[in-house]
Homo-oligomer: A and B are copies of this chain.
Amino acid sequence: MTSIDVARKCGVSQSTVSLVFSGKAKGRISARTEAAVRSAAEELGYRPNAAARALKTGAARAIVLVVPDITNPFFGGLLRGAQTAARAAGYAVALIDTDNDREWGSASAEALRAGLADGLLLFEVDPPPFSEGGEPIVVIESESRGHPSARLDVEGGSDAALRHLLDLGHRRIGVLTGPVRDLSARARLDGFRAALDHAGIPVDDSLEQRGLFTFEDGRELGLRLLALRQRPTAIVCGDDLQALGVYEAARRVGVRIPDDLSVVGFDDVDQAAWAAPPLTTVRQQFAQMGATAAGLALSLAAGQEPTQDRYELDTTLVVRGSTGRPPAGPPAVDPTLI
């Protein structure tokens, strides 16, 4: 079932059919002819072959987004944002989940690339080495190696989170962070350290724990921190899932939040507000971020010179019920009264 069959069926040429289906009929094909073509196509069950179109035009009208863990709602939001932007431009976005495997993500993205996607949005995945002359690659929240990029002001967020805790009187603050290789993890850590440094508090290595951005790792690392002889009075986390894991760790060892322990998350996924107590966290505009990255890739794919090829979005600290004064300090504040 090809455009030739349709053309034959209603006695027109293949070009006419093509014009109708590529939306270029306006002013070139008579309304009657167009209607005839469409009804013949419908009758035959014809649909244009996208691979042929992509081969001929050099554009697949699709971009692919590669993320490490779609199970983390952060990336769901990112995808939504990217899809909204792409959709408006008539593009589809396909998602690849690498399950935290940087190598595979790169290989798979590569496979999808040449000819099948017009752009690539990479989150914490090693960019393929063949950047030159290929489809545009936009790097999200990680090392860009010369690729255009979109990131969040992670350092600003970490700094705000830490200052909030310092203002409340905390001095012994635990830090959970992500994989060493992740730029976003390093940036979060840098922000924490800078704020500590600024407040003249020496960095205590035993209070820094590293793991994946998951609930499970948050729980394990949290348990480790709570088992220290000199327990922290507050913990800042690499992301909200880790923070929720710390909630679980606290529950297990009978530590109350925020009375005995303050907890700060990162991202502000939906679950942060649902938690009991609601989680104080650094809000990242992830949908906005997805839209920005997709827009950048789209304009690059269209051959436009973007006005800007390096974006940074603001973050804000959202104070909820999981933070309060440290237990040893002045009288505790009842969080339900905030």
Contacts and interface: CB of A to CB of B under 8 A. Distances in A.
Interface of A: 1, 45, 47-55, 60-62, 64, 70-71, 73, 76-77, 79-80, 83, 87, 92-97, 99, 108, 110-116, 130, 132-134, 215, 244-245, 247-248, 251, 270-271, 274, 276
Contacts of A245: 274
Contacts of A247: 276
8 contacts: A50-B114, A52-B55, A52-B115, A55-B55, A61-B111, A70-B95, A76-B97, A92-B112
A98 to B, nearest CB: 9
Instruction: Say how many copies of this protein the assembly contains.
Output: 2
A5 to B, nearest CB: 12
B108 A45 contact: no
Given A1-B133, A55-B51, A55-B52, A94 B97 contact: no
Contacts of A79: 70, 95, 97
Contacts of A77: 71
Nearest to A218: B274
Contacts of A271: 215, 271
Contacts of A97: 76, 79-80, 83, 95
A92 B108 contact: yes
Contacts of A132: 45
A52 B51 CA distance: 7
